[in-house]
Amino acid sequence: MKRERFLSPIFRVTTGVMASSPFLILLFILIVLIHDAIPAIRYQGFSFFTGITWNMGNMYANNPIVHNGVQAAPGASFGILPFIVGTLGSSLIALLIGVPFALMTAFALVYKVPKPIQRVLSPLLELLAGIPSVVYGLWGVETLSPFIEFKLGPLLTRLGHTMPFLAGPVGTGFGLLTSGLVLAIMIVPIITATARDLLMQVPALSLEGAHALGLTSFESVRFVAYPFVKRGIFGAIVLGLGRALGETMAVLMVSGDAANYLPYNLYSPISTMASTIAALLDSALTDFTSMSVHALAFIALTLLVITVITNLVARLLVSMGRQNVHVEM
């Protein structure tokens, strides 16, 4: 009995610490990034978000410049507007392509596919979500980029006189469109699985009533199922957006790794915030003033804030969507 009384407080403290560990880890990462980003914030100011030029400066010089009390290599300038545009542009393309495909797949799995086939397809869908991103990237390099360079790109450029953003040149196939397509494939499993779980909670009696009234399958989904889960589906889409915003390796492999200019058409090489950190960290570590590392930390802090907000909004909407289903039931 004495032993249990002695172990009980230890158990409560241990489980309390473990339960709060996600918050503590996130808080620790946030504090470290803010601490590392402060020199870059002082050096570059708000122009960090509006500047186009990213230049680490002459890292072999021994005469650092001093600006606002912090040192940087001569010629150093850190503007991430092209990275922000690349991140948002590729994520937008991913949503435009991936969301309709994901939602139609979810509707088919729940309402059209026979149960035995559904039990086979659902695990495969979750398996796609677990494939490492580098595999998607390699697939994009070997198949998607040549396809866009020699097939899809030349075909789309024929529409360039009516839609200027489709005009050429197509380039090498590495760029905005390829990144968006790879991201679209990567976010489809996440959105589909979440939407499928939500649709499976729609009351069967409501759907049966709709069929009894003579509604078609499309009308039943449009006017009965969708209103039950629309808020949760929007949350699932935002959840996919969070994945697209933070994806690193696959985008780095197919984006063309461009800097210092804004994309001028659908095929332009780009860089995203996440891929830039991965691509430049090795060079930044050789900066004798460490300002390049501080600038990368500032990018990471910006990306972390955007991703956390996006995921919190998505989780909230999905939760509200599930509560709405239970209330309606």
19 C-beta neighbours (distance < 10 Å), count = 9
Q: Which tens digits make up the pLDDT trace of 236-293?
A: 888 888 888 888 888 989 988 888 888 888 899 999 999 999 999 988 888 888 899 9
Contact 245, 93 (CB under 8 A): no
Gyration radius from the chain CA atoms: 24
Q: Which tens digits make up the pLDDT trace of 36-79?
A: 999 999 998 888 999 999 998 887 777 888 888 888 888 889 99
Q: Which tens digits make up the pLDDT trace of 174-190?
A: 999 999 999 999 999 99
Task: Pick the more confident residue, 121 or 141.
Answer: 141
Contact 213, 263 (CB under 8 A): no
**What's residue 297's pLDDT?**
94
Structural domains of the chain, ranges and CATH numbers in brackets = 81-319 (1.10.3720.10)
Of 275, 295, 274, 273, the closest CA to residue 284 belongs to: 295
**What's residue 328's pLDDT?**
52
Task: Pick the more confident residue, 302 or 201.
Answer: 302
**Size of the chain, expressed as the number of residues it contains:** 329
pLDDT surpasses 60 at 326: no
